[in-house]
Chains A and B, each alone.
Chain A
Amino acid sequence: MERRTIFGGWLLPAAFVLPQLLLTVFFFLWPAGEAIYGSLTRQDAFGLRTQFIGLENFVDLFEDPLYVESMWRTVYFCAAVSLLSMSVALLLAVFADREIAGRGFYRTMLIWPYAIAPAVAAVLWILLLHPQIGMVAHGLKAIGVVWDYKINGGQAMLVVILASAWKQVSYNFIFFLAGLQSIPRSVIEAARMDGARGWRRFRTIIFPLLAPTTFFLLVVNLVYSAFDTFGTIQALTHGGPGKSTETLVVKVYRDGVVNLDLGGSSAQSVVLMVGIVVLTVVQFRFLGKRDKT
């Protein structure tokens, strides 16, 4: 059933959507336009002269081994963050879905990390993992692990993956829990009567029925880890040591804001923008279709 409200003229409805339109124009369309224009230009070091150079920035970008390297690093980072946060969230959701005492409490607790600002979350992880003052770091040293993510690139990557995944677990948890609860009880019971237990029941009944949720979360998590983790990475490692945690968004910031290559940085932003558009289209295509059947 479709419900629609009929307005007399266009003025009132226009007034209703105006604030959102203004926000979109000033904070999304304008900067995006600037980025697209900027990506086609080159500025001198002092910003005095701007020269139109066509697609040269993009050609430079893809010929730059550092950029390609950063791209692969981002792919690795996104895959790791999505996989880690989704599997942990699914595990927690399965446990929280059971009939246990105090599950309301667990559920609330598990949702909290989502409300924490990226920088604050980063500070928390620093306090845990800092080579000199971190509690976990002390524990690791006690058992003989040489731990210093400020020097060791692999460890730095591990730290940013952990922190980013942790932030996203809550979000995934909510969706997985809702997904689990929307599976009809009787279907699970039918599987029990058919003799399916534990892991087998999960693998053959529950997980397939969660597929729409899982796919949706996969897209959301990829977008999150690719674009939304800047704050966490910047606060934890600044993309270092060296370039070992420099994902594409961090590189945009470093090249543009720190190294003042505005044209190149804009070109990188445009590439990222295309990435978002592709992921969004994928999501709408597949999830939109599922709803209709």
Chain B
Amino acid sequence: MATLKLHDLRKSFGPVAVLHGIDLALASGEMLVIVGASGCGKSTLLRLVAGLEDPTAGAIELDGKDVARLDPAERDIAMVFQNYALYPHMSVFDNMAYALKIRGLTKADITTRVQETAEMLGLGPLLARKPRQLSGGQRQRVAMGRAIVRHPKLFLFDEPLSNLDATLRVTMRAEIKRLQRRMGVTSLYVTHDQVEAMTLGDRLLVLHQGRAVQLATPMEVFERPANVYVAGFIGAPAMNFLPATLSHGGTAASLALGPVIPFVDGRRAGADGMALTIGIRPEHVVADAAGEELQVDLLEPLGSETVVIGRLSNGEMLSVKLPKAEAPTERMSVGFPAAALHVFDAATGLRLDPG
């Protein structure tokens, strides 16, 4: 267990800046999920912490000690790789024992620790096998076991579930969460999968083009996204965005579509006429006979619910998530409940809060 602090961590590959100064502090035992689209720098961030890449500038403090210039061997950090990176020529036992052997533990200690960990992960009967004789899920477990058996200060997960099929992914996701809680090891978890991000993290760090755009609990990120990017990235189907302007002395949004929706939570700072982006999640849009007409383009049945994708009268796209029974076939009228609106400054993309 350890605390992790990043101070203004930067990384450039030649002239290309990948990370523009990341600050972060993890409490002991916390699981932080780093989420973002591919190319946002999340894997680079993880590799910097691991020591597999050297930072261009900044500090990485593990338990108060700067490790940014140390070799990975001296950091006491374990990592689970996306493709598991098991040693193909070694048995499961040897894969897990490798790091312990290097640290010079006695044979008896190594055996005890590997067996303990193997029991915990249900790998007991597989210890003599080679990685190529294992299924994807089993390899994943061995990769976890190899990290756990070391009792490291910090766990790093680099999209560990993305090579598994959907069913297994859900199972392993729950298992990772359970293990992490039980071990209480501070963890960084990188993923592009928002479901993983929402379910696994104590907190989320949303990265966009090498910058941290929001650091908060998963629910806060979902309920109060810091900007248009986060709002569109977290939540499925993605949030709808409608252009609007500020009106009525900052107390309402006048949609380009026509209707004026008053803010229920207070006035926004800014002059009337300022360009806004109004966000509303598909599940918050309601059927409303007195509302706006929506021409249905496409229906995506999800089982109990159906996603309706259509065009508003001014040609803007809108998706609506409805209970299956309410799904229309050709057209419907929709309303935008005032309480469900997210208000963003159209120029900066930043969230505008009341006050």
- A103 at interface, CB cutoff 8 A: no
Q: Once A and B bind, how many residue pairs between them come within 8 Å at the CB atom?
A: 58
| Contact of B81 (CB < 8 Å), options: A189, A200, A293 | A189
Residues of chain A having any CB pair with chain B under 8 Å: 184, 186-187, 189-197, 200, 204-205, 208-209, 211, 293
- A190 contacts across to B, CB distance below 8 A: 79, 81, 85-87, 146
Please tell me if the beta carbons of A196 and B88 are within 8 angstroms of each other in the complex.
Answer: no
CA distance A212 to B28 in the complex (A): 45
Please tell me if the beta carbons of B89 and A197 are within 8 angstroms of each other in the complex.
Answer: no
Question: Interface segment, B3-11, B70-78, B187-195, B258-266?
Answer: B70-78
Range, interface on chain B: 20 to 34
- A205 contacts across to B, CB distance below 8 A: 87
Known contacts A190-B79, A192-B52: A197-B73 contact under CB 8 Å: yes
Q: Which of A186, A200, A293 has the most CB of B within 10 A?
A: A186
| Contact of A186 (CB < 8 Å), options: B83, B98, B102 | B83
Closest 10 CB pairs of A and B: A186-B85, A194-B99, A190-B85, A195-B73, A208-B89, A195-B102, A192-B72, A186-B81, A193-B79, A187-B85
- B150 contacts across to A, CB distance below 8 A: 194
- What is the minimal beta-carbon distance from A183 to any residue of chain B, in angstroms? 9
- When C-beta atoms are compared, the residue in chain A nearest to B98 turns out to be A194
Q: Per DSSP, are chain B's interface residues mostly helix, strand or loop, or mixed?
A: loop
Please tell me if the beta carbons of A200 and B102 are within 8 angstroms of each other in the complex.
Answer: yes
- What is the minimal beta-carbon distance from A165 to any residue of chain B, in angstroms? 28
- When C-beta atoms are compared, the residue in chain A nearest to B50 turns out to be A193
CA distance A229 to B103 in the complex (A): 47
9 further interface pairs, Cβ-Cβ under 8 Å (given A193-B78, A194-B102): A187-B88, A190-B86, A191-B98, A193-B52, A194-B150, A195-B72, A195-B99, A197-B71, A209-B88
- A196 contacts across to B, CB distance below 8 A: 73, 98, 102
- What is the minimal beta-carbon distance from B68 to any residue of chain A, in angstroms? 16
CA distance A200 to B104 in the complex (A): 13
- B72 contacts across to A, CB distance below 8 A: 192-193, 195
21 A–B contact pairs at CB < 8 A? A184-B85, A186-B81, A186-B83, A187-B86, A189-B50, A189-B85, A190-B81, A190-B85, A190-B146, A191-B98, A192-B52, A192-B71, A194-B99, A195-B102, A196-B73, A196-B98, A197-B73, A204-B98, A209-B88, A209-B89, A211-B89
